A and B are shown apart, each in its own frame.
Chain A
Amino acid sequence: MTDAATATLTLLVERMMPHPPEKVWRALTQGPLLEEWLMRNDFQPEVGHRFNFRSNPVPHWNGVVDCEVLVVEPNKRLSYRWNASGEEAATGIKTIVTWTLTPANGGTHVRMEQSGFRPEDTANYQGANYGWQKYFAGLERVAARPE
């Protein structure tokens, strides 16, 4: 989605999962489980808790995401800042990731919204060569799959 007024972008990914919200919540909030599907972390489900997601560094990305827990509503909603870290903190992305779990058809509707992508966050990066591809090169086997 594009919001022309502010020129920020919000990314939305949602999916039905045949598991109860309580179980999905555990996977989202217990560090070792979170690591299994997302990244290494020192997450704690406490509002105000600052933590990092860590991946292997690659050129133009130190592999670290600076985070802060904003919302914890057990089994329903989880939100944290998802910001660039280190030398890239000043000019990098400043986004907010929000998870919303809704019971549906015996399972859970899982919705992930990442908001606040601004053009200027990234345009100041490492010159013309900077792009998401490089950012994502660090995030393991992410392919530039077509939408």
Chain B
Amino acid sequence: MHSEPDAVLKTLADPTRRAIFERLARGGEQTVRVLTGHSGVSQPAVSKHLAVLRLAGLVRDRREGRQTHYSAEPQGLAPLMDWIGLYGAFWRDRFDRLETLLNRMDQ
């Protein structure tokens, strides 16, 4: 699944959703019930957040019997890294210009 940076950002902009993602990223695979216990919101609300996270490519699910287990998909953050990479491109460009200037300057 490939998301746009905006989608990833919007998804993680919600504090509750971000907390769920962080919990999965740190704690590994978990069920909705366990996640609900930690989230301070209702189970349907957690399910909804998980659906949004899954759509953004940040979470994957695995069914086992009647249970669904959720885990973080760290690769889902890749668009965000690409996105910040643009800022990186900006600074590398400016580093080039800085070096050009330094070569021109007197000691």
User: Which A residues fall within an 8 A CB radius of B?
Assistant: 2, 4-5, 7, 9, 11, 13, 15, 17, 19-20, 23-24, 26-27, 33, 36-38, 110, 112, 114, 117, 119-120, 122-124, 128-133, 136, 139, 141-147
The answer to whether A123 touches B13, judged by C-beta atoms less than 8 angstroms apart, is yes
Q: How far is the CB of B15 from chain A (nearest CB, A)?
A: 8
Chain B interface, >50% SS class:
helix
Q: Which of B84-100 contact A (CB under 8 A)?
A: 84-95, 97-100
> CB-CB < 8 A to A9: which residues of B?
80, 84
In the complex, identify which listed stretch (B3-11, B29-37, B38-46) lies at the interface while the others stay far away: B3-11
> CB-CB < 8 A to B1: which residues of A?
none
User: Which B residues fall within an 8 A CB radius of A?
Assistant: 4-6, 8-10, 12-13, 18, 22, 25-26, 77, 80-95, 97-102, 105, 107
Bound complex: CA A37 to CA B105 (Å):
12
Bound complex: CA A23 to CA B98 (Å):
11
Bound complex: CA A112 to CA B10 (Å):
28
The answer to whether A147 touches B85, judged by C-beta atoms less than 8 angstroms apart, is yes
Chain B, residue nearest A13 (CB): B91
> CB-CB < 8 A to B102: which residues of A?
17, 19, 23-24, 27
**Which single member of A110, A122, A141 contacts B9 (CB below 8 Å)?**
A122
Chain A, residue nearest B87 (CB): A11
The answer to whether A17 touches B82, judged by C-beta atoms less than 8 angstroms apart, is no
The answer to whether B99 touches A11, judged by C-beta atoms less than 8 angstroms apart, is no
Nearest 10 A-B pairs (CB), nearest first?
A123-B13, A37-B97, A132-B86, A123-B9, A119-B12, A13-B91, A37-B98, A120-B13, A145-B89, A19-B102
> CB-CB < 8 A to A131: which residues of B?
4-6, 83
Bound complex: CA A122 to CA B9 (Å):
8
